[in-house]
Structure 1
């Protein structure tokens, strides 16, 4: 199989893996904090939190910070892999 064909098939597979769950899963995605709060309220309905947040950012901000954290982590991993591959290829050429 040619390299171009393999790359196209891999790209199609990645797109399908990203899109199909969004089409077929009809679930509400919530955070772990919300699930824990609901569980605590079912176990002990009289529970009152000790404190509340001073600043409550909108949901978009939380999503943006999570995506930023993932991007920084991916960048760091890519940098380290590139660094090691560069060192390996440099030592082979000497």
Structure 2
């Protein structure tokens, strides 16, 4: 079969998406926040011990959208560096 690996990967993606959607629906039906993360709970636990930060951040983004933009930009730059490295490595292997 010529496209066996592609079909297997597509099937795996579909199964993963289905499991994710079913789990998401179950969480939302129970009334809990879906995929909220543990950052808030960790901060509450640390603050309950009486810990106070040593210093304040130099700059905080003015909104959550800017913070998300900076995070996505950081991820894109990291992906470009990794992609370039693998591409360079693959190209040097073909020419050697």
**Larger RCO (alpha carbons 8 Å, 6+ apart):** 2
1:30 — aligned with what?
37
In the alignment, structure 1 segments of 5+ residues that lack a partner are none
1:39 — aligned with what?
45
TM-score, normalising length from structure 2? Answer: 0.62
What RMSD in Å do the two structures reach over aligned CA positions? 2.9
1:78 — aligned with what?
83
Summarize the alignment of residues 1-94 of structure 1 with structure 2, pairs less than 5 Å apart. Answer: 2-18=1-17, 20-25=19-24, 26=27, 27-30=34-37, 32=39, 34-44=40-50, 51=56, 55-91=60-96
TM-score, normalising length from structure 1? Answer: 0.62
In the alignment, structure 2 segments of 5+ residues that lack a partner are 28-33
> Where has structure 1 moved over 3 Å in runs of 4 or more?
47-56
Query: What is the CA distance between 1:90 and its match in structure 2?
Result: 1.0
CA distance 1:58–1:23, shift in 2 (3 Å): farther
